[in-house]
Amino acid sequence: MKFILLGTAALVITASVAFAGSHSVVRMGTEGAYPPYNFINDSGEVDGFERELGDELCARAELTCEWVTNEWDSIIPNLVSGNYDTIIAGMSITDERDEVIDFTQNYTQPDPSTYLALDGTDVDFDGGVIAAQANTIQAAFIAASGATLVEFATPDETIAAVRSGEADAVLADDAYLRPIAEENADLVVLDKQELIGGGVGMGVRESDTELKDKFNAAIQSMKDDGTLNALLAKWEIGPGF
């Protein structure tokens, strides 16, 4: 066993000697399960608002980018240990996350979060059962309120929980819930809205200030010439800047 380990280590060390410049390829980490922000399209590729935005930002910052999907739960640890260079996954800027990673400036306005429930249910916001995706601002919001929080690893499962009656309602970004309610007669978006979070930004490693500056400049230029607003309108994500 010692031999195999040493052998592997030796192989790994000598595997490649090519020189890599600083960020010759920027790996963009996303979840791929949160339309319209990001999702996997029919041909199996990352698609959505953030795909278009990310490609445009990379073009403006003159970077070569590659898209990688990662589970939401481990999306921050994998960024920190260097498996990819950015998180672009509809991640709202919060103080808690900011302690671990750095954020670029926000590229969406704080998106109101809404509740989705079965048509005709009377949801009790202070004592009922509300579903949310784990490690999201919505989950933190419900945990702090009087309602009982049930957490799920994927956004999809939160909707399934409402359908099955496990939860009275689900709290998530309005842009995510709205299309679901439109296409399913049995589900409705409630009138009550919560304003949480400081908008969505790209996450980068705290030590990676160079990359952060490049993306900040690119986002600013997209804000200035109105292309960002056009994208936001196209994918129906909240108000523009």
The only residue of 30, 36, 51, 201 in contact with other proteins, by rule CB under 8 A: 36
Q: Pick between residue 144 and residue 209 the one whose CB is nearest to other proteins.
A: 209
Are residues 174 and 197 in contact, defined by beta-carbon separation less than 8 angstroms?
Answer: no
CB of 120 to other proteins, least distance (A): 19
CA 204, 210, 213, 219 torsion: positive or negative? negative
16 binds other proteins (CB under 8 A): yes
Tokens representing 55?
Answer: 């490609």
43 binds other proteins (CB under 8 A): yes
224 binds other proteins (CB under 8 A): no
The only residue of 52, 55, 60, 69 in contact with other proteins, by rule CB under 8 A: 69
Tell me how many residues contact other proteins (CB under 8 A).
Answer: 60
CB of 183 to other proteins, least distance (A): 5
Compose the 141-180 pattern: x for residues touching other proteins by CB under 8 A, - for all others: -------------x-x--xx--x---------------xx
Q: Pick between residue 8 and residue 193 the one whose CB is nearest to other proteins.
A: 8
Are residues 48 and 70 in contact, defined by beta-carbon separation less than 8 angstroms?
Answer: no
